[in-house]
Chains A and B, each alone.
Chain A
Amino acid sequence: MASRPEPSRARRVLAPLVAVVALLVIWEALVDVGVIPSFMLPAPSQVVMALAEDAPLLLEHSLVTLGEAAAGLAGGVALGFAFALLMDRFETFYLAFEPLMTISQTIPTIAIAPLLVLWLGYGALPKVVLVIVTTFFPVTVSLASGFRSVDPDVVDLMRTMNASRWQIFRYAKLPAAADQFFSGLKISATYAIVGAVIAEWLGGSVGLGVYMTRVRKSFSYDRLFASIIIISILSLGLMKLVELAQRAGMPWKRAERNKNER
């Protein structure tokens, strides 16, 4: 079967843009003509106005949430790296923790958040810990399977060059895992903001989650939507950062992509 020709760049940008604009126009019209009452669903124009009015406040809360998410993500990556290394080095460790890690992922974040607040208080710590808990799994799994994906013949070849265990890790295993690591990191980055917000819902004095709880209680749904938009922007921003890091960290990927496109 012949594959479809690649859509042009203009089409790739225009098609989703038109779809979003059309949705916004329909939404605005439905609220404006009164099909949906504005207290149930604020019109996009109201949301934009709320965004503008509360901009300084939103910025303040966003910075706190972003800080917690970044700290938690860094912690999750560090912990994930340590776990993946141990799983790669010791088969028993892998066998012992692999099922536990899978099970831990079936526990909903929202269920453990209150416990963390109970144990760790209302400060930043339970938020950071929750983000660590949610982001560490994708990083660990992607890294562990990335390390395992190394060609055993490459390892043999390096052994004939008298390579040490550390050299085999650095030159063969680590680069072999880079692709999967960044895929995992991208997922973790999206979890990070959401994780921080969920933890903030359950207690605290500052952060986007706290802001959301407050505006929800005062029925300011336009402000609630404004905070949702901010959460999306922050998550997309983090994902973009991961992509940039990947591009910088894996320069050989571009050569491979160019070859495939040729």
Chain B
Amino acid sequence: MTTAGEKNAQVPALSAEGLTLSWDGEHVVVADVTVDVAPGEVCCLVGRSGCGKTTILHALAGLTTPVSGRVLLHGEDVTGRPGRVSYMLQKDLLLPSRRIIDNVCLPLVLAGMRRDEARAKAAPFFERFGLAGSELKWPSELSGGMRQRAAFLRTYLMGADVTLLDEPFSALDALTRTEVRQWFVGVAAELGLSALVITHDVDEAVSMASRIYVLAGAPAAGEPSHVIGEVAVTRPAGERSFELTDEYLAAKRQVMALLG
């Protein structure tokens, strides 16, 4: 018999097995995509615009059902079932009509928790997520970086330990982006989250992930996308500016070479 710890080490937190997806049932967008994310790992799926990344994200989130293949969450088949993994987009999608704390509490309230209970549960996280003092503000009163952190806290409070992120920070300005990415990797490690980041931005992929899957193809021209390679990123310990290291550049070169 295996212990829970050993089991976790064997079973990926999230895996897609041979996913083939289509928009209309005929036109195949991505074919036979197999990726997995180990518990506590941040992986990236990188590919050019229009290669079907968001289609994959929708399938992993259970919003669409694949033509073939399965989505497994800790080994459990969750294909076509939404609500099991959390999900965050480039747009923060904060509801303008709700205060930050109530936006952040939304998944709790939707699950049936009373508002004051949900607020009490969310409040302790504001400090860690760099949002202290903005609990009662409206979304329009926050900066882009803060809004994205609030969106991430909302994602976290969904209670799923696997998070899908679709170009989460690419709408932010360059400096904030670098800061928020580093912050995200730190918080994810601290909270033990597993994440799959989907992006067209090679820098975003290399700076956040420990492994990068490269997706290529031209679905619009009738050529479905495949995973054409996998790049491991090694992060030198204790290095503050990872973006300036040889390891970073090496990984970036490999990904760029695969993308062509």
List the interface of chain A (C-beta within 8 A of B): 151, 153-154, 156-163, 167, 171-172, 175-176, 178, 250-252, 255-256, 259
How far, in angstroms, from A168 to B91 measured CA to CA in the complex?
Answer: 18
Is B58's beta carbon under 8 Å from chain A? yes
Is B82's beta carbon under 8 Å from chain A? yes
Q: Please, which residues of chain A bring their CB within 8 A of the CB of B62?
A: 160
Q: Render B95-107 as a binary contact track against A, CB cut-off 8 A, 1 for contact.
A: 1111000000011
How far, in angstroms, from A245 to B58 measured CA to CA in the complex?
Answer: 39
Q: Please, which residues of chain B bring their CB within 8 A of the CB of A171?
A: 95, 98, 106, 110
The distance from the CB of B55 to the nearest CB of chain A, in whole angstroms, is 13
CB pair B137 A255 closer than 8 Å? yes
Is B248's beta carbon under 8 Å from chain A? no
CB pair B110 A161 closer than 8 Å? yes
Is B61's beta carbon under 8 Å from chain A? yes
Q: Render B4-36 as a binary contact track against A, CB cut-off 8 A, 1 for contact.
A: 000000000000000000000000000000000
Q: Please, which residues of chain B bring their CB within 8 A of the CB of A175?
A: 95-98
The distance from the CB of A201 to the nearest CB of chain B, in whole angstroms, is 42
Q: List 7 A-B contacts (CB under 8 A).
A: A151-B91, A156-B87, A157-B93, A159-B83, A160-B85, A175-B95, A176-B97
CB pair A154 B95 closer than 8 Å? yes
Within 8 Å by CB of A162, from B83, B95, B98, B139, lies B83
How far, in angstroms, from A251 to B138 measured CA to CA in the complex?
Answer: 9
Within 8 Å by CB of B93, from A153, A163, A255, lies A153
Within 8 Å by CB of B107, from A156, A161, A255, lies A161
CB pair A256 B158 closer than 8 Å? no
**Interface pairs A-B: 10 shortest CB-CB:** A175-B97, A162-B83, A255-B138, A160-B87, A256-B140, A252-B138, A161-B107, A163-B110, A161-B110, A159-B82
CB pair A172 B95 closer than 8 Å? yes
How far, in angstroms, from A162 to B140 measured CA to CA in the complex?
Answer: 26
The distance from the CB of B118 to the nearest CB of chain A, in whole angstroms, is 12
Within 8 Å by CB of A259, from B63, B85, B97, B140, lies B140
Question: Nearest chain-B residue to A163 (Cβ)?
Answer: B110
CB pair B89 A255 closer than 8 Å? no
Is B86's beta carbon under 8 Å from chain A? yes
The distance from the CB of A167 to the nearest CB of chain B, in whole angstroms, is 6
Is B141's beta carbon under 8 Å from chain A? yes
The distance from the CB of A202 to the nearest CB of chain B, in whole angstroms, is 43
How far, in angstroms, from A172 to B97 measured CA to CA in the complex?
Answer: 9
The distance from the CB of A80 to the nearest CB of chain B, in whole angstroms, is 21
Question: Nearest chain-A residue to B94 (Cβ)?
Answer: A154
The A contact surface, by secondary structure, is helix
How far, in angstroms, from A40 to B89 measured CA to CA in the complex?
Answer: 68
The B contact surface, by secondary structure, is loop
CB pair A154 B93 closer than 8 Å? yes
How far, in angstroms, from A153 to B107 measured CA to CA in the complex?
Answer: 15
Q: Please, which residues of chain B bring their CB within 8 A of the CB of A151?
A: 91, 93
Q: Please, which residues of chain A bring their CB within 8 A of the CB of B98?
A: 171, 175, 252
Question: Nearest chain-B residue to A255 (Cβ)?
Answer: B138
CB pair A157 B96 closer than 8 Å? no
Within 8 Å by CB of A153, from B89, B96, B137, B141, lies B89
How far, in angstroms, from A156 to B82 measured CA to CA in the complex?
Answer: 9
How far, in angstroms, from A178 to B85 measured CA to CA in the complex?
Answer: 31
Is B111's beta carbon under 8 Å from chain A? yes
Q: Please, which residues of chain A bring their CB within 8 A of the CB of B97?
A: 175-176, 178, 250, 252
CB pair A162 B91 closer than 8 Å? no
CB pair A252 B82 closer than 8 Å? no
The distance from the CB of B196 to the nearest CB of chain A, in whole angstroms, is 14
Question: Nearest chain-A residue to B62 (Cβ)?
Answer: A160
Question: Nearest chain-A residue to B164 (Cβ)?
Answer: A160
The distance from the CB of A173 to the nearest CB of chain B, in whole angstroms, is 11
How far, in angstroms, from A175 to B140 measured CA to CA in the complex?
Answer: 15
Question: Nearest chain-B residue to A254 (Cβ)?
Answer: B138
What 11 new A-B contacts, CB under 8 Å, besides A154-B93, A175-B96, A178-B97? A151-B91, A159-B82, A159-B83, A160-B87, A171-B110, A175-B98, A252-B96, A255-B140, A256-B138, A256-B140, A259-B140
Within 8 Å by CB of B83, from A161, A167, A172, A250, lies A161
CB pair B89 A162 closer than 8 Å? no
Within 8 Å by CB of B58, from A156, A167, A252, A259, lies A156
Q: Please, which residues of chain A bring their CB within 8 A of the CB of B96?
A: 175, 252, 256
Question: Nearest chain-B residue to A160 (Cβ)?
Answer: B87
CB pair B138 A157 closer than 8 Å? no
How far, in angstroms, from A164 to B87 measured CA to CA in the complex?
Answer: 17
CB pair A156 B63 closer than 8 Å? yes
> In the complex, which residues 116-169 of chain B have their Cβ closer than 8 Å to any Cβ of chain A?
137-141, 158
How far, in angstroms, from A153 to B171 measured CA to CA in the complex?
Answer: 16
CB pair A160 B63 closer than 8 Å? yes
How far, in angstroms, from A155 to B110 measured CA to CA in the complex?
Answer: 13
How far, in angstroms, from A151 to B106 measured CA to CA in the complex?
Answer: 17
